[in-house]
């Protein structure tokens, strides 16, 4: 397994991580817990050392699952989790809260659920417009000084927010959606990360499954699946966006790969400090994703992709208005 460092930090992880959200969240029927533990063990056996979770995925059950499954591998793996949602006593999400006292309470709870002495990478899950980012960074700085957190991260933050946070407590990684069909981070977030020595962790690097080529306008989702709410995944949008899949399929045929492997290899080729975290629950999909590390992109390939994708207009917004994350100001 190839390894990468997240920016100029000393945090070294496998070149591909694993997003664990759908092991307990946005599904109608929960996967069998023991099967998921076995799957996580298999991921470690294949060299994956970077795992992504959050309290809101469940809520709480995802951290508990990841913590239990990875307990035998303490010191060998890196777990990233998050703070910033106010989750009520009955598991209801009461909105955003990054008040310093809430961050510290959340950290203590995550430490217990994960069964660790320190959180490897602690992201603000979403920007909270009611709390200055300097206060957020300051709270995490104190947790780092206390030995309860090792690295600070931000999710879906804009360039200005990243700079302001980094000035208080160095940011190790920024996590945001990034893929061949969602590239807004290229405008100023990725340049800011490069300038400041911050790693970048793309979530949904396979477009929530669309870029695998295994989804079309007839595909149905679980009732709890968030894709039911996203404009980009309406049957009409899925049909209209087949040009993206056709492009990936053409490149895949040339390289003896699959569309999913091409999509991941394209991301990996952008910067050496980018570490995608595709989600998976099946070994065959995990193995397919890992195979992306063997797909080589040379500069000429990247330019050809750039030329081809520039002629395609992706249909459908990423989120409806009510679900759009605030990225900062």
**What is the dihedral sign for C-alpha 29, 178, 237, 251?**
negative
Number of domains in the chain: 1
328 assigned to some structural domain: no
Q: Is residue 190 part of a domain?
A: yes
Residue numbers annotated as active site: 57
Q: Residue 329: pLDDT above 80?
A: no
Q: Could you tell me if residue 228 is inside a domain?
A: yes
* Average predicted confidence (pLDDT) for the chain: 95
Give the whole-angstrom CA distance, residue 59 versus residue 83: 12
Structural domain of 232:
3-323
Predicted pLDDT of residue 326:
83
Note the pLDDT of residue 298: 84
160 within a domain of the structure (yes/no)? yes
Closest C-alpha among 154, 153, 150 to residue 120: 150
Tell me: the pLDDT tens digits for 204-255?
A: 999 999 999 999 999 999 999 999 999 999 999 999 999 999 999 999 999 9
Determine if residue 91 is left, alpha or beta; phi over 0 gives left, psi from -120 to 50 gives alpha, anything else beta: left
pLDDT in tens, 36-52: 999 999 999 999 999 99
Average pLDDT score over residue span 315-328? 88
Q: Report yes or no on 135 lying in a domain.
A: yes
Residue 329, in any domain of the structure: no
291-314 mean pLDDT: 92
CATH assignment of the domain containing 182: 3.20.20.100
Is the pLDDT reported for residue 53 higher than 70? yes
pLDDT, tens digit, for every residue of 188-199? 999 999 999 999
Residue whose C-alpha is closest to residue 124's, from 146, 101, 152: 152
What are 157-191's pLDDT values in tens digits?
Answer: 999 999 999 999 999 999 999 999 999 999 999 99
Q: Is the pTM of this model over 0.85?
A: yes
């Amino acid at each position: 397994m190839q390894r990468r460092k997240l920016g100029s930090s000393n945090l070294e992880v496998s070149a591909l991580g694993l997003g664990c959200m759908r092991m307990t969240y946005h599904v109608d029927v929960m996967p069998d817990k023991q099967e998921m533990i076995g799957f996580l063990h298999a991921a470690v056996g294949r060299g994956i050392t970077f795992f992504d979770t959050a309290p809101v995925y469940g809520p709480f059950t995802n951290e508990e699952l990841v913590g239990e499954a990875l307990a035998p591998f303490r010191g060998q793996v890196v777990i990233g989790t998050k703070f910033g949602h106010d989750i009520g006593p009955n598991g209801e999400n009461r909105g955003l809260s990054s008040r310093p006292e809430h961050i510290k309470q959340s950290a203590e709870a995550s430490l217990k659920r994960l069964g660790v002495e320190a959180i490897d990478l602690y992201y603000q899950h979403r920007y909270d417009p009611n709390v200055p980012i300097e206060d957020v960074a300051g709270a995490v700085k104190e947790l780092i000084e206390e030995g309860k957190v090792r690295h600070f991260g931000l999710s879906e933050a804009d360039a200005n927010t990243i700079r302001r946070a980094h000035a208080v407590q160095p940011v190790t990684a920024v996590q945001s959606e990034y893929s061949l069909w969602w590239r807004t981070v290229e405008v100023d977030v990725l340049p800011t990360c490069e300038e400041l020595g911050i790693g970048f962790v793309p979530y949904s690097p396979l477009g929530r499954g669309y870029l695998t080529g295994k989804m079309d306008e007839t595909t149905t989702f679980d009732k709890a699946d968030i894709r039911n709410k996203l404009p980009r995944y309406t049957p009409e949008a899925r049909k209209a966006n087949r040009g993206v899949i056709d492009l990936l399929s053409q490149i895949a045929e040339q390289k003896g790969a699959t569309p999913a492997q091409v999509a991941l290899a394209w991301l990996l080729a952008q910067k050496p400090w980018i570490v995608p975290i595709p989600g998976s629950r099946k070994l065959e999909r995990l193995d397919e994703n890992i195979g992306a590390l063997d797909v080589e992109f040379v500069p000429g390939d990247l330019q050809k992709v750039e030329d081809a994708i520039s002629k395609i207009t992706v249909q459908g917004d990423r989120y409806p208005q009510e679900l759009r994350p605030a990225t900062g100001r």
